[in-house]
Amino acid sequence: MNAAPIIEESQVLLRIGLPVVVSGVLNLSMQFVDTVMTGHAGPNELAAVASASALFHQIFCLGIGVMVALTPIVAQLEGSGNIRKISPSVRQGIWISMLLALLSMLVLPHMDHLLRWMDYEPDVVRITDGYLEAVVWGLPAAYVFLAIRHSLDGLGITRPCMYLTLLGLCVNIIGNYTLIFGNFGFPKMGAVGAGWTTAIAHWVILIGALLYLQSSQKTKTIRFLSRFDWPIWSYWREILRVGIPSGLSFGAEVCMFTVIALMMGKFGVVALAAHQISINVAGLAFMIPLGISAAISQRVGNAVGQKNWQEVRFRGWLGVGVCVGIMTMTASILVLFPHAISGLYTSDPAVAELTIQILWMAALFQLSDGLQVSTMSALRGLKDTRIPLLTNLLSYWPVGMGLAYLFGFVWEWGAISVWGGLIAGLSVAAVLHSLRFHLLSRGSHQLVCLPIRP
């Protein structure tokens, strides 16, 4: 077998995917910076940011899922040589992103009622409300940037957004230092200052993205912002047909992890702390398959546009193999160095001991999660998102959550067994996504979404 195509395609996957990985790590770093800096402002400030961030990302992940539809749409248009339809697709995506921003701005400021219903301390609720009322003003910029970013992903242009995210992190650090603690003549705002800083960072990132689109030679032929378009339903229908199921899939996964955390809390503070450490480590490692999966969607979508079904299968399965191979290495790190990893987070013996046990489960989790996210991304490259949504709902809830509850609370196998349910759900999703990609990539082009009509 000729290894040259495998090496060449692997290099392309990594060239496209690694900047997305770095962007994901930088986004996590923003959350980390907010957590650390507000922690120095006081425990109530830290609790408020933790609560507000959870509520914010619950809503924002739905928008990410919808906007990710632009990646396969743009990739297929480029692959088919239909370049003239890329810029109107992006402009319509921006319209949709602004609608999503408006809806989020209407919902988020009222999420404090949920915290009151859950009997949070009044001071924490007050600070959380202030943070959310500040951060919502960055949502229009954040959502429009999502539309631009995923459109550029569809063209295989991922490095500029990595640099822009780094710029956002720098703004976040400087802004937090200024507004949280009241430096440089500004008032001391605490956690609310972190909310305003996040909003400002989103606008800085968007302005940078717009300047890039206007000046880059790579995007000059596309002419993203060459004209103004009113909403066009045929484009909206295609974007939403692919994007809404993706958004719901993202939301279902986020909800699953939220409920798992609530389950772990039932086992006590030690179990919840160990779970939080393990999920933090797993989340950091997840940035790798998440980045590679963006490349898989782009490469598969491009081949679909060319109507080259042999290349669709090759690119899809190679991407899955690369992703699973990398996750095998990260899983090995968790198995070989659990003591060192837990030691970075805690010095409490009880928490460390349980963390080590959960990290072994997290190693299995890496493999299942890597396979399911890569195969789902290959399906997204085909613009196939509705059946994967149903697959995810079945896998995450009746299977994953059902087994987690059965293992942990009916059979009373302990906190670690809850992760067994999580792994089972992801494994079922991985197998079903793999089977579907195998079926659809055999050349059944009638199962792929029709191209957008003018």
pLDDT in tens, 308-357: 999 999 999 999 999 999 999 999 999 999 999 998 888 889 999 999 99
pLDDT at 300 over 50: yes
pLDDT at 450 over 70: no
pLDDT in tens, 274-295: 888 898 899 889 999 999 999 9
User: What is the pTM (predicted TM-score) of this model?
Assistant: 0.91
Q: For residue 259, what pLDDT is reported?
A: 87
Using CA atoms, how far apart are residues 139 and 63, in angstroms rounded to an integer? Answer: 10
pLDDT at 443 over 80: no
Q: For residue 447, what pLDDT is reported?
A: 45
Number of residues in the chain: 454
Alpha helices in 382-414 (DSSP H): 386-394, 402-405
Q: Which residues of 193-210 are buried (b: 16+ CB within 10 A; e: fewer)?
A: bbbbbbbbbbbbbbebbb
* pLDDT range class, residue 1, cuts 50, 70, 90: low
- Distance of alpha carbon 329 from its chain centroid, rounded? 21
Mean pLDDT estimate for the chain: 90
Residue-range domain boundaries for the chain: 1-231, 244-454
Please state the rounded mean pLDDT for residues 94-102.
Answer: 96
pLDDT at 221 over 80: no
Q: Name the helix (H) or strand (E) containing 142.
A: helix 139-154
From 52-56, 216-220, 239-243, 291-295, the region with the lowest mean pLDDT: 216-220
Q: Which residues of 358-380 are buried (b: 16+ CB within 10 A; e: fewer)?
A: bbbbbbbbbbbbbbbbbbbbbbb
pLDDT at 237 over 50: yes
**Percentage of the chain lying above the pLDDT 70 cut:** 97
Give CA separation, 255 vs 55, 56, 58, 115, in Å: 11, 13, 8, 16
**Best CA proximity match to 90, nearest among 78, 102, 80, 106:** 78
**Best CA proximity match to 34, nearest among 205, 191, 166, 202:** 191
CB-based contact 198:138 (threshold 8 Å): yes
CB-based contact 242:181 (threshold 8 Å): no
Residue 266: CB atoms within 10 Å: 12
φ, ψ (nearest 5 deg) of residue 448:
-95, 145
pLDDT at 100 over 50: yes
Please state the rounded mean pLDDT for residues 182-201.
Answer: 93
For residue 359, what are its two tokens?
Answer: 């990290």
Using CA atoms, how far apart are residues 146 and 136, in angstroms rounded to an integer? Answer: 15
Please state the rounded mean pLDDT for residues 31-43.
Answer: 84
**Percentage of the chain lying above the pLDDT 90 cut:** 65
Q: For residue 454, what pLDDT is reported?
A: 40
Determine whether 221 is exposed, middle or buried from the number of CB atoms within 10 Å of its CB (0-12, 13-18, 19+).
exposed
Q: For residue 75, what pLDDT is reported?
A: 96
Q: For residue 50, what pLDDT is reported?
A: 80
pLDDT in tens, 386-438: 999 999 999 999 999 999 999 999 998 989 999 999 999 999 999 999 999 99
